């Protein structure tokens, strides 16, 4: 299977603090899934002023999975969003999915826009939206695509960057997985973490609402995001969730959002305590030494694989020996579990090692010498 080897993008984004001055950490974006009425919007926004919310969200054009669901009220809601901005001083953000939406959003002076998960997965739409933003200085929040494809997410960010957008924020909203029980969209935390490594300086926001799909789970997901150093949260909040026209189960009311916010544990990103710093330093140097050893062991192991490959080649034996692989898997997971390592981790690790071993033997097998 092709696994693209991604290298860091050469881009320079504006810092989050350069355009969202008033935000306390974490940056809090809240508001309903959908704009339903001027009253619903204002009532929600006024309550949200009692929280740390600095950006008010509401969907106007809703990309629903099935037709005949509530698809948003469209352009009239821009007026309501503008009212929220004027009455409360909150910044406002909404979703755009095509250049027509961008045109409307700019006409109404909406502060920011987000790209939904379904749109991120569509390069044609993204290219068109990006072109419509050329020369416009507006922050763009890019949700991850529905499928766990980091290239698609990156590609969307690149298309906006290439069109001159310098204020880009990535939003992790989980990934669709058939049959998932706990989450509506499974969080695969390693993807946003990898994205942050690949795109230097990109702010990372988590949307726990669309990950959870259930209001009872929103807090847990939010806390995980904070522990992973996310810069902020986008949480669906409705003045009366039970009667919401979309995403009822996952929306909090403003009181519940306040409670969530007050109970979030925000850990320090930087180590300031001297004792903690020196203890961390010592533990890390031990880890560095162990990692050196690991690399040494792996190098030695792969060298043996090469010798085995040569033997197999000279004697016309297939590379994959299912019995041997079965034995390795059973023996090593058994030993590892006894040492307190998790079965899941052991299988992942052994599979990766075994695959590399096969790759090396393939090379030997196919070389002309
Ligand atoms: C939303 O934020 O309401 C939404 C539709 O999100 P997503 O694109 O992540 O599904
Ligand atoms: Mn929603």
Q: pLDDT digits over 233-249, tens only?
A: 999 999 999 999 999 99
Task: Tell how far the Cα of 203 is from the centroid of ligand 1, in angstroms.
Answer: 18
> Could you say which ligand is closest to the alpha carbon of residue 59?
1
Report whether pLDDT(1) > 70: no
Provide DSSP, 261-305: HHH-----SS---HHHHHHHHHHHHHHHHHHHHHHHHHHHHHHHH
Mutate to test the pocket of ligand 1, among 59, 77, 120, 125 (most ligand atoms within 8 A of CB): 59
61-67 long-range contacts, CB within 8 A, separation 24+:
61/95, 61/96, 61/97, 61/101, 62/33, 62/34, 62/95, 62/246, 63/95, 63/97, 63/116, 63/118, 63/119, 64/246
Task: Tell how far the Cα of 143 is from the centroid of ligand 2, in angstroms.
Answer: 12
Q: Which residues contact 169 (CB under 8 A, 6 or more apart)?
A: 16, 139, 140, 141, 142, 202, 203, 204, 205, 231
Residue nearest atom 3 in ligand 1 by C-alpha distance:
33
Q: Which atom of ligand 1 is nearest to the CA of 118?
A: 8
How far apart are alpha carbons 135 and 346 in whole angstroms?
50
Residue nearest atom 1 in ligand 1 by C-alpha distance:
33
Mutate to test the pocket of ligand 1, among 143, 186, 248 (most ligand atoms within 8 A of CB): 143
Residue nearest atom 2 in ligand 1 by C-alpha distance:
33
List residues near ligand 1 (CB under 6 A): 33, 59, 63, 116-118, 143, 173, 207, 210
> Could you say which ligand is closest to the alpha carbon of residue 63?
1
Report whether pLDDT(272) > 90: no
Tokens at 104, concatenated: 């409307």
Q: Which residues contact 170 (CB under 8 A, 6 or more apart)?
A: 141, 142, 144, 153, 157, 192, 195, 196, 199, 202, 203, 204, 205
Length of the chain as a residue count:
369
Task: Tell how far the Cα of 213 is from the centroid of ligand 1, in angstroms.
Answer: 11
Q: Which atom of ligand 1 is nearest to the CA of 234?
A: 2
Predicted confidence at residue 115, as pLDDT, reads: 98
How would you classify the pairing of strands 168-172 and 204-206?
parallel
Task: Tell how far the Cα of 253 is from the centroid of ligand 2, in angstroms.
Answer: 14
Looking at per-residue pLDDT, the higher value among 22 and 188 belongs to 188
Q: Which atom of ligand 1 is nearest to the CA of 246?
A: 3
Q: Which is nearest to 264 in space by CA: 299, 304, 222, 297?
A: 222
How far apart are alpha carbons 261 and 222 in whole angstroms?
9
Report whether pLDDT(4) > 60: no
How would you classify the pairing of strands 168-172 and 27-31?
unpaired
Predicted confidence at residue 40, as pLDDT, reads: 98
Report whether pLDDT(273) > 50: yes
Q: Which residues contact 106 (CB under 8 A, 6 or more apart)?
A: 136, 138
Sign of CA dihedral 270, 274, 279, 284: positive
Predicted confidence at residue 248, as pLDDT, reads: 97
Predicted confidence at residue 346, as pLDDT, reads: 97
Mutate to test the pocket of ligand 1, among 33, 61, 144, 237 (most ligand atoms within 8 A of CB): 33
How far apart are alpha carbons 364 and 310 in whole angstroms?
6
pTM of the model: 0.81
Do the Cβ atoms of 167 and 19 come closer than 8 Å?
yes
> Helix H segments across the chain?
38-48, 76-88, 99-107, 117-120, 123-132, 150-162, 190-198, 208-212, 218-227, 254-263, 274-314, 322-338, 343-366
Report whether pLDDT(368) > 60: yes
Report whether pLDDT(35) > 70: yes
Cα Rg of the chain (Å, integer):
25
Task: Tell how far the Cα of 322 is from the centroid of ligand 2, in angstroms.
Answer: 47
Predicted confidence at residue 69, as pLDDT, reads: 86
Q: What is the pLDDT confidence band of residue 21, given thresholds at 50, 70 and 90?
A: confident
Question: Tell me: the pLDDT tens digits for 45-104?
Answer: 999 999 999 999 999 999 888 888 899 999 999 999 999 999 999 999 999 999 999 999
How far apart are alpha carbons 202 and 212 in whole angstroms?
24
2-5 long-range contacts, CB within 8 A, separation 24+:
4/151
Task: Kindly state the average pLDDT of the residues 3-29.
Answer: 82
Mutate to test the pocket of ligand 1, among 117, 119, 187, 221 (most ligand atoms within 8 A of CB): 117
User: Residue 170: how many CB atoms within 10 A of its CB?
Assistant: 25
Task: Tell how far the Cα of 34 is from the centroid of ligand 2, in angstroms.
Answer: 7
Question: Tell me: the pLDDT tens digits for 306-334?
Answer: 999 999 999 999 998 899 999 999 999 99
Residue nearest atom 4 in ligand 1 by C-alpha distance:
116
Predicted confidence at residue 269, as pLDDT, reads: 77
Do the Cβ atoms of 126 and 99 come closer than 8 Å?
no
Mutate to test the pocket of ligand 1, among 92, 210, 237 (most ligand atoms within 8 A of CB): 210
Question: Tell me: the pLDDT tens digits for 150-175?
Answer: 999 999 999 999 999 999 999 999 99
Residue nearest atom 10 in ligand 1 by C-alpha distance:
117
Q: Is 354 exposed, middle or buried (0-12, 13-18, 19+ CB in 10 A)?
A: middle
Does residue 339 sit in helix, strand or coil?
Answer: coil
Residue nearest atom 8 in ligand 1 by C-alpha distance:
116
Average pLDDT of the chain is 94
Report whether pLDDT(116) > 70: yes
């Amino acid at each position: 299977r092709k696994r693209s080897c991604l290298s860091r993008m050469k881009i320079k984004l504006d810092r989050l603090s350069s355009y969202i001055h008033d935000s306390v950490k974490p940056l809090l974006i809240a508001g309903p899934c959908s704009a339903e009425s001027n009253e619903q919007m204002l009532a929600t926004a006024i309550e949200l002023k009692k929280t740390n919310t600095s950006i008010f969200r509401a969907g106007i054009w809703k990309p629903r999975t099935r037709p005949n669901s509530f698809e948003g009220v469209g352009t009239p809601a821009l007026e309501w969003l503008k009212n929220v901005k004027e009455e409360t001083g909150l910044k406002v953000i909404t979703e755009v999915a095509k250049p027509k939406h961008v045109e409307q959003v700019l006409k109404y002076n909406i502060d920011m826009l987000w790209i939904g998960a379904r749109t991120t997965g569509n390069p044609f739409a993204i290219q068109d939206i990006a072109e419509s933003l050329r020369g416009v200085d507006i922050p763009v929040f890019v949700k991850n695509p529905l499928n766990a494809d980091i290239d698609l997410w990156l590609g969307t960010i690149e298309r906006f960057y290439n069109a001159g957008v310098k204020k880009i924020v990535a939003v992790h909203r989980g990934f669709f997985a058939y049959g998932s029980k706990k989450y509506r969209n499974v969080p695969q935390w390693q993807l946003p973490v990898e994205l942050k490594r690949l795109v230097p300086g990109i702010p990372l926001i988590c949307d726990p609402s669309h990950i959870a799909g259930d209001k009872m789970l929103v807090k847990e997901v939010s806390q995980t995001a904070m522990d992973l150093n996310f810069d902020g949260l986008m949480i669906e909040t409705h003045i009366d969730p039970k009667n919401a026209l979309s995403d009822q189960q996952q929306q909090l009311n403003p009181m519940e959002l306040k409670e969530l916010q007050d109970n979030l544990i925000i850990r320090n990103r930087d180590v300031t305590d001297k004792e903690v710093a020196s203890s961390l330093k010592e533990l890390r140097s031990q880890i560095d030494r162990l990692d050196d050893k690991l690399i040494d062991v792996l190098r030695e192991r792969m060298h043996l694989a090469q010798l085995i490959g040569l033997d197999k080649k000279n004697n016309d034996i297939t590379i994959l020996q299912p019995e041997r692989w079965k034995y390795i898997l059973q023996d090593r997971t058994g030993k590892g579990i006894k040492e307190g390592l998790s079965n899941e981790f052991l299988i992942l690790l052994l599979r990766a090692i075994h695959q590399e071993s096969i790759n090396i033997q393939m090379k030997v097998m196919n070389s002309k010498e």
